[in-house]
Amino acid sequence: MAIVSLQLENFRTYHRDSFEFSEGVSIIVGPNASGKTNLLEAILLLCEGQSFRAKDHELISHEKDYARIEGLVGIDKRIVLIEHDGIERSTKTHQINTQNLKRLPPAKRVPVVLFEPEILQLFQGGPEKRREYMDSLISRTTPGFTTTMRQYKRVLSQRNALLKRQQTPKQEEFFAWNVRLSELGGQIATARNQLIDNLNSSINEEYQNIASKNNNVSLEYLSKISSPSYNTHMLHALEKVFQTDRERGYTSVGPHRDDLQVLFDGKDAKQVASRGEMRSLVLALKILELKIVEAAAQKQPILLLDDVFSELDGARRKALTESIQQYQTFITTTDADLIVKYFIGACEIIPTNRTA
């Protein structure tokens, strides 16, 4: 399902602008602050219902009280209307043909995969980025996982609040919280491990295609809690670390503390892999993400590449190009010549001349 056209009104740097797209590759070119990423953001909102970088009211042009996005996606007319009262409240509504929706349910979403430069640092930063990466992909492909995550965070917050009480809490007061947190934690860890098993089944092949190297690459879920029977082991762990948790005022074990590790030939990639090798790995993961999302949705996702080509060398650009040709793709860049040569006769140029 491809996006055919897009009309923007009071959205970010766009006041009244219209675009038409082909089913292939669209290269969005313009100087910095000309609205390239804003255009990708509008596509994501129209298809999946949310921004990847801002709250709703921040999407409305300065001194305006609403923003409107309208587009034709396949044969469906879609509209997103964001309104703000000028003080603190904002509302967002969706319309698909004649159906009005306050929220865009999963069944009504058009799958989109976003690739931005920050993802290239996935394995360089802290573990929260990697947890977010796993949970975001699972949420888009596993029904009910978003609800499980929301429930887990709520119970975790309640347990932490109890740990911080001025009156010294007793361990027996925590039993019910520990049981529920362990049940939800086990579901989350199981889903993450299933994702990693899925990725590990193809990561070597994808990595070697991109990097032209024969390293044995694998992913490993890192946790203080052993699997299987994660929930049982988590319950025991929570009871074991109770005194430490009470002193610190927070829960120190569980999926909110777990991590994702990359191994190159059985060794920690952070210790042995070059920057280029890590970038090849992230490219391989994003290509696998496309395939996983496509399999779950039973339709091809739309691919958004935000200024990624400038971060890659020629070999990796070529490998990425070969992997995405069957998808409708939107690529932002300040230099079209950098990209056009990889899509000769198979792309269109969309200039942006707006300044923020």
pLDDT digits (tens, 9 = 90+) for 214-265: 889 999 999 999 888 999 999 999 999 999 999 999 999 999 999 999 999 9
Residue 168 has pLDDT above 80, yes or no: no
Q: What's the pLDDT at 356? A: 41
- The single residue listed with the structure tokens 């990209």 is 339
Question: How sure is the predictor about 95, in pLDDT bands with cuts at 50, 70 and 90?
Answer: very high
Residue 312 has pLDDT above 90, yes or no: no
Q: What's the pLDDT at 63? A: 87
Q: What's the pLDDT at 285? A: 94
Q: Using an 8 Å Cβ cutoff, are 206 and 284 in contact?
A: yes
Q: What percent of the chain has pLDDT over 70?
A: 99
8: which strand partners? 17, 69
Q: What percent of the chain has pLDDT over 90?
A: 70
Q: Using an 8 Å Cβ cutoff, are 13 and 32 in contact?
A: no
Q: What's the pLDDT at 87? A: 74
For the chain, what is the mean pLDDT? 92
Per-residue pLDDT reduced to its tens digit, 177-189: 999 999 999 999 9
Question: How sure is the predictor about 355, in pLDDT bands with cuts at 50, 70 and 90?
Answer: very low
pTM above 0.85, yes or no: yes
Is the bond preceding 31 in cis, omega lying within 30 degrees of 0? no
Q: What's the pLDDT at 353? A: 65
Q: What's the pLDDT at 141? A: 94
Residue 345 has pLDDT above 80, yes or no: no
The residue-averaged pLDDT of 325-338 equals: 91
Residue 354 has pLDDT above 60, yes or no: no
Q: What's the pLDDT at 125? A: 86
Instruction: Kindly state the helix (H) or strand (E) to which residue 39 belongs, with its residue range.
Output: helix 36-48
Task: Supply 24's token pair.
Answer: 């292939």
Strands (E), 57-166: 66-73, 76-84, 90-96, 99-101, 112-115
Contacts from 57-64 at CB under 8 Å and sequence distance 24+? Answer: 57/82, 57/84, 57/90, 59/11, 59/12, 60/10, 60/11, 60/84, 60/90, 61/10, 61/11, 61/12, 61/13, 61/14, 61/15, 64/10
Cα–Cα separations (whole angstroms), residue 60 to 38, 48, 94, 95, 253: 11, 18, 16, 18, 41
